[in-house]
Structure 1
Amino acid sequence: MEHDTTLARYDRQLRRDARPDGPGVRVEHTGPVVRQTGPAHAWNGVLWSGLDDLGPDEVDAVVAEQIRHYTGLGLTFEWKTYAHDAPADLPRRLRAAGFAPDGEETLMAAETARLDLDVVLPEGVELLPVTDEAGVRMVVEVHDRAFGGDSGHIGRQLLDRLAAAPDTVAAVVAVADGEPVSAARLDLLPGTDFAGLYGGGTVESWRGRGLYRALVAHRARIAAAHGHRYVHVDAAPTSRPILQRLGFTTLTTTTPYVYGQPV
């Protein structure tokens, strides 16, 4: 996989030419910014900002305009930054404007045709496709137990998409003895080369048994079947070594800056 070409394709298809990721949301191109706006349980934020040719005061004005837009709607939002974004001091300017950085993740991608997808599930575990409200409840349960906090917004997003655009999402739950122990989602983006891996949560008692790897392989097979050349993931430090062994390559790092609530 050619790094610069793949990253440029990612920026173009998933950021500059982004499409709404669910019903009830809209993607807007306003000046140098591409942003998504939707209901409170949706992902709201800035996907792309072409600020290369702007002076410092102009950059600050663009940032202030996004704050006015989202706070005027009563929404918390993210400015999703990448290490290669310009200007180089954008993170500092976002912090000065009141944004709080969330944890840095590594944007990784792999060609589906080159991935090692021959993964065996642990004994006694089966994978169930999520197609209805009962399945979504299991996804939320796994995420609550795996990550802590309330993952209800994830369930609402997933229900919306299963109802309105089921061909754009595939979710799966790993079940052992009737108990959901791991869950993950695949975003299928028609008209793009990419499918996105999200979630990948496993309850503590089942970690280290290969479930994360199995769910990555399962979703990559679905992505390939839908004609997507690449799968991509924002990887936490704990996931990065597993993904590297599967054949993923690092493209850059990404940090969301959150406005409107403590991180």
Structure 2
Amino acid sequence: MDDLLAAYDDQLRGDAEVRSALRTMRLGPALLAVFPDGFGFITCRDLPPGDPAPFVRDALDRLRADADVRVVEWKTRAHDRAPGLLEALAAAGFEEGEAESIMIGEARLLARDVPLPEGVRLRRMTSPDDVRAASAMADQVFGDPVSEDRAEDLLRRIARGGELWAAESGGEVVSTGRLEPVPGTAFAGLWGGATRADHRHRGIYRALTAARARSALDRGIRYLSSDSTEFSRPILERSGFRRVSSTTPWEWRR
């Protein structure tokens, strides 16, 4: 597990996290990014020495100076040594979100045949109309307004080599998830998993995950990583994935 965590830190943090950003900037050891739909993002492995509060305020100020940025996420990891960071984030107006498990394992562990419920089919979404339909369904599952910016971001990710998969029932998208290869590494990420409440606990998400794993293997990708909620973590654990750490988003909202 130490090797997996080291690979995560070395290959999946920093530049790998902001490949799809509209723009990025450096602030000491931190990487700041602005994504579509007014989403600001901060990632940092090692804090500068001393009190982190001024550093946190400076990083936030640089992003909120952009009037289009409506939310800023500082992505923390449980295994980082960051004394005083959480207190500094709270003092700067960030609010703690739900922790997620960082799961890593070999793609072959997920590439299994999973039976689908009758009337459900899986396919890779590539056309703009299909991508927008899948994006709108995910927005609704997460309780967000349907966002054209997020749909356009998905289309850009696909153009750069990412994949969007969906499950459909009765002509409607009921579950979706992305596969995002990380160039120059043996990894791809499993992201954006969302399933409509009326189609959960039917094996659809497991089948969608298996389809993405098979596609990863076809592309020569060995490892998959996922920031998993308590809904998806058990699925990955039962397949042999390891929980190497956890990550918690801290959010500031305008």
TM-score for the superposition, normalised by structure 2: 0.90
Q: Give 1:122 deviation, angstroms.
A: 1.9
Give the letter for the 2:43 counterpart. L
C-alpha distance in 2, partners of 1:213/1:243? 9
C-alpha distance in 2, partners of 1:157/1:146? 18
- Alignment of 1:146 onto 2:141: yes
Which of the residues 238, 241, 244 maps onto 1:248?
241
Partner secondary structure for residue 132 of structure 2: helix
Q: Is the 8 A contact 1:126 1:174 kept in 2?
A: yes
Q: Give 1:116 deviation, angstroms.
A: 4.9
Partner secondary structure for residue 164 of structure 2: strand
- Alignment of 1:180 onto 2:176: no
Q: Would the alpha carbon gap of residues 27 and 225 (structure 1) be closer, same or farther in structure 2, given more than 3 Å must change?
A: farther
- Alignment of 1:200 onto 2:193: yes
C-alpha distance in 2, partners of 1:20/1:78? 13
Q: Give 1:203 deviation, angstroms.
A: 1.2
Partner secondary structure for residue 44 of structure 1: strand
- Alignment of 1:157 onto 2:159: no
Q: Is the 8 A contact 1:19 1:27 kept in 2?
A: no
Structure 1 unaligned blocks of 5 or more: none
Q: Which residue of 2 aligns with 1:37?
A: 34
Q: Which residue of 2 aligns with 1:28?
A: 25
Q: How many matched pairs?
A: 251
Structure 2 unaligned blocks of 5 or more: none
- Alignment of 1:109 onto 2:109: no
Runs of 4+ in 1 over 4 A off after TM superposition: none
TM-score for the superposition, normalised by structure 1: 0.87
Q: Deviations over 1:103-137 (max 9, x none)?
A: 11111111113335222222221112111221112
Q: Which residue of 2 aligns with 1:50?
A: 46
Paired-residue identity, %: 38
Partner secondary structure for residue 248 of structure 2: strand
Q: Would the alpha carbon gap of residues 241 and 175 (structure 1) be closer, same or farther in structure 2, given more than 3 Å must change?
A: same
Which of the residues 62, 78, 83 maps onto 1:69?
62
Which of the residues 9, 12, 24 maps onto 1:11?
9
Q: Is the 8 A contact 1:184 1:215 kept in 2?
A: yes
Q: Deviations over 1:40-93 (max 9, x none)?
A: 426531122311x6111xx22211111111011121211100001222431121
Calculate the aligned-residue CA RMSD, in Å. 2.0
Q: Give 1:19 deviation, angstroms.
A: 5.9
C-alpha distance in 1, partners of 2:17/2:196? 32
C-alpha distance in 2, partners of 1:206/1:128? 17
C-alpha distance in 1, partners of 2:23/2:141? 30
C-alpha distance in 2, partners of 1:232/1:216? 12
C-alpha distance in 2, partners of 1:229/1:43? 30
